[in-house]
Amino acid sequence: MKKNILFLVLLTNIFAACEKDDFCVKNPVTSKLIIDFYDNTNRETLKKVQGFSVIAEGKTDSLFTNQSFNSISIPLNSLTTETSYIFKKNTTGGATANNNMATFSIVYDTEEAFVSRSCGYKIIFKNVAFSTDTNSWITAFTPSTIINLDDQSAAHVQIFH
Amino acid sequence: MIKAQHMFKYFISFCFLFLGAKSFCQEIQQEKVPQKIKDTIVYKTNYGLRLGIDLSRPIKAYFSSSYSGLEITGDYRIRKNIYIATEFGFEKETSIEDYSNSTSKGNFIRVGFNYNAYKNWLDMNNEVFIGFRYGFSLFEQTLNNYTPNVSDAENGNYFPATIKTPSKAAANLNAHWSELMIGIKAETLKNVFIGISVSYKILISAKNPEDFQVLFAPGFNRIFESETGFGLNYTISYLIPFSKK
């Protein structure tokens, strides 16, 4: 009888241990937009954006403020078909007068795809088109459209400044 | 020198001392062996159809609001140690995951055999068995709701997602699997058996719903990422004796 009880306890342990087997290890599940920043004159070399702040239009909190990056990954809003970001650059000092603004807009379609039990569904962004306002610190960008945004292995857009 | 000679004599005779004892022992053993062979009484046990119910399922249903199920078990003894065995029933389970909530419900059957590896005393009829089963289930799975996974912890989930409730049902799903089980059965009252067994299942194939996945198959239990599963049975069964052999 003692043996049976021990066996039952062991069994319960095994099953309790099986309860949560898989955690979603994929990070992120839904791809973000990766932008690399290059020097406008020497287009092969990465160039950091100084005093860099990013906020999406219509949001009150920034993704980050006053940083220095040559590559960023930013999320797209899956509930709408357009996400506009305001990129603020401040190369000299940080005084408000020296702020350089640029609006970078992304238009897309969304599609859901099942990944796994633990990760659930991801969003694939399709027919993605980029645009920016004229006369901003963004001189050029390439490419202007991508068909599928579903991969985080490389940068999606190059911005020259 | 003389002293040494006496010592040798002592040792040599000491060696002979147990010689007699040794041969004496052998004689006793030889006498015992034929006595054992004379014991020829055969204890007969019941053969027949054993029907039962899995008690673990109503217990699980009582404690979990996301589960309901019933399982009937049956086996038929064909040899001294071999039983043809089957289990069938229905199950309904809601799989509550981080990003989805779905309900599977349907019927299943498992057929195979058990091998009793336990040598019973006298006319006892207990089992420590290993078994093999082929399992099949027909079911439907409804995706009750889900939230697209746009989690982005490093940016504090800048753009959250909303929960969607499609209530999308996929019918005519099926799953096949093979199953290895190990368990014990004890005759607690005359012809009444209590049994407990655990099983390890390997999925052969499953028909998944379109753009989703079978997370739980009736009779199989939860389908793990590696397409394996575990089962537990706690059965009470009654043997309808047909003959005594």
Residue range A79-119, pLDDT digits in tens: 999 999 999 988 877 677 778 889 999 999 999 999 999 99
Residue range A2-18, pLDDT digits in tens: 566 665 555 555 555 44
Tell me which residue in B148, B156, B213 faces A117 most closely, judged by beta carbons: B213
**The pLDDT value given to residue B106:** 96
- Contact across the interface for A121 and B146, Cβ inside 8 Å: yes
- Contact across the interface for A29 and B95, Cβ inside 8 Å: no
Chain A residues whose CB is inside 8 A of the B198 CB are 11, 14
- Three-state DSSP at B13 gives helix
pLDDT at A35 over 70: yes
- Contact across the interface for A79 and B158, Cβ inside 8 Å: no
pLDDT above 90 covers a percentage of chain B that reads 67
What residue in A sits closest to B209 (Cα-Cα)? A114
**The pLDDT value given to residue B63:** 93
How far does B19 lie from chain A, in Å, by closest CA? Answer: 46
Residue range B41-80, pLDDT digits in tens: 778 888 999 999 999 999 999 999 999 999 999 999 999 8
From the candidates A114, A118, A123, A150, which should be mutated to test the interface with B, based on the most B CB atoms within 10 A? Answer: A114
How far does B198 lie from chain A, in Å, by closest CA? Answer: 8
Q: At what angle do helices B2-17 and B19-37 cross, to 10 degrees?
A: 10
Highest mean pLDDT: which of A50-54, B15-19, B30-34? Answer: A50-54
Chain B residues whose CB is inside 8 A of the A112 CB are 148, 211
Mean pLDDT score across all residues of chain A: 86
What are the distances in angstroms from CA B27 to CA B19, B34, B37?
Answer: 13, 12, 17
A118 touches chain B (CB under 8 A): yes
**Number of CB pairs < 8 Å for A and B?**
90
Residue A70, token pair as written in the block: 């040559």
Predicted ipTM > 0.85: no
**The pLDDT value given to residue B122:** 81
- Provide the pLDDT confidence category of residue A20 given band limits of 50, 70 and 90: low
Tell me which residue in B97, B150, B230 faces A75 most closely, judged by beta carbons: B150
**The pLDDT value given to residue A23:** 82
As to burial, measured by CB atoms within 10 angstroms (0-12 exposed, 13-18 middle, 19+ buried), residue B78 is exposed
**The pLDDT value given to residue B41:** 78
Residue range B188-229, pLDDT digits in tens: 999 999 999 999 999 999 999 988 999 999 999 999 988 999
A139 touches chain B (CB under 8 A): no
A30 touches chain B (CB under 8 A): yes
How far does B225 lie from chain A, in Å, by closest CA? Answer: 7
- Provide the pLDDT confidence category of residue B155 given band limits of 50, 70 and 90: confident
**The pLDDT value given to residue A91:** 81
How far does B195 lie from chain A, in Å, by closest CA? Answer: 11
| Unique residue bearing structure tokens 């062991």 | A10
As to burial, measured by CB atoms within 10 angstroms (0-12 exposed, 13-18 middle, 19+ buried), residue B162 is exposed
Residue range B29-39, pLDDT digits in tens: 555 555 555 66
**The pLDDT value given to residue B43:** 81
How far does A65 lie from chain B, in Å, by closest CA? Answer: 12
Q: How far is CA B142 from the centre of its chain?
A: 30
**The pLDDT value given to residue A1:** 58
Answer whether B207's CB lies under 8 Å from B177's CB. no
**The pLDDT value given to residue B168:** 83
What residue in B sits closest to A21 (Cα-Cα)? B224
- Contact across the interface for B148 and A112, Cβ inside 8 Å: yes
Give a three-class secondary structure readout of chain A: CHHHHHHHHHHHHHHHHHCCCCCCCCCCCCCCEEEEEECCCCCCCECCEEEEEEEECCCCCCCEEEEEECEEEECCCCCCCEEEEEEEECCCCCCHHHCEEEEEEEEEEEEEEEEECCCEEEEEEEEEEEEECCCCCCCEEECCEEEEECCCCCCCEEEEC
Chain A residues whose CB is inside 8 A of the B213 CB are 114, 116-117
Give me the amino acid identity at B212: F
A10 touches chain B (CB under 8 A): no
pLDDT at B3 over 80: no
